[in-house]
Amino acid sequence: MRLKSLLPAMVAGLALVACSGPSSPAIQDSDLLATTVSSTLTAFPTMTPLPAATEVPTEPPPQSTETPTEEPSPSPSASALPSETPTITTTPGPTSTLPSEDVRNGLGGPTWQDDFSDGDNWPLGEDSFTRASVEDGELHLTGLTTTDGWRLTWPVVQDFYIEMTVRTGSCSGNDHYGLIVRVPDKSAADRGYLAGFSCHGRYSLRAWDSEEMTGLLPPTASEDILAGSEQVNRLGVWVKGNRLGLYANGTLLREVKDDMFLEEGAFGIWIGARQTENFTIHVDEIAYWDSP
């Protein structure tokens, strides 16, 4: 049985987009978290140096960032990527202390969880880049252009593990989607880390500082990602200090260090319809666990 996020009644009136009003406090449940999280932070393999990039996607022309004109308002918001080709860094990863087997097994209950029984935690509707709706217990997010766009929810967190269960619609090639984390300013929604999967089964990790996109993990194929249309994957990101670990279906793919965004920030879901018109993902669940 999945846990539900119980929000105070006042949350319903707050804006949940990148330019929203004051955030509601994240739900804490010490009984659910218990001490299991700390037991997952030991005995991990040494990470190998990152491979040279085999594919660097060309970014579309820049678009302006849209923001709602009224507060509080659940109007959607999206941010755009630059026209420059991402810079790929190949710094060796650190010695890992993140879980290498199914990460979720030792985490206990989540600090915050949304199973999309309703759409109260997200901005819904359509803007220039994306369209979002909640139907039948899923968040449906559609990319309306080749530009990546995202929607943010209300919690602000610093060190955590976050995971979403997502099903792809009809897609091909480099249609891609993922999680954006450590967004410093929800009102601007113009910076953060973008961890993602593509339709052809590749993962990547990028840092966007509102002017330049830096590739921390180049697009890399993995047998742990189910490629193609109508496939269900769990995409997870562990963030602790300057370390980021990317997970596919509970398995650690790669870990890197980066100092661009170290403070607490917002998070959300992003999509880019690079090859398929109206590429849509269906998110069944998203949850995060505080990291000790």
What pLDDT, in 10s, does the model give residues 20-75?
333 333 323 322 222 222 222 222 222 322 222 223 333 433 332 332 323 322 33
Q: Is 131 helix (H, G, I), strand (E, B) or coil?
A: strand
Q: Is the backbone peptide bond immediately before 61 cis, with ω within 30 degrees of 0?
A: no
Read off the tokens for 107: 């985490």
Read off the tokens for 207: 């840092």
- Is position 11 within any domain? no
- Is position 20 within any domain? no
C-alpha angle 105-106-112 in degrees, rounded to nearest 5: 90
Strand extents, DSSP E, 144-212: 149-157, 160-168, 176-183, 192-198, 202-208
CATH code of 196's domain? 2.60.120.560
Number of domain units in the chain: 1
- pLDDT, one tens digit per residue, over 240-255 is 999 999 999 999 999 9
- Is position 65 within any domain? yes
- pLDDT, one tens digit per residue, over 84-140 is 333 333 333 444 455 657 889 889 999 999 999 999 999 999 999 999 999 999 999
- pLDDT, one tens digit per residue, over 126-163 is 999 999 999 999 999 999 999 999 999 999 999 999 99
Q: How far apart are CA 48 and CA 114, in angstroms?
A: 35
The predicted model scores a pTM of 0.70
For residue 100, with 0-12 CB atoms within 10 Å meaning exposed, 13-18 middle and 19 or more buried, which class applies?
middle
129: domain range? 32-290
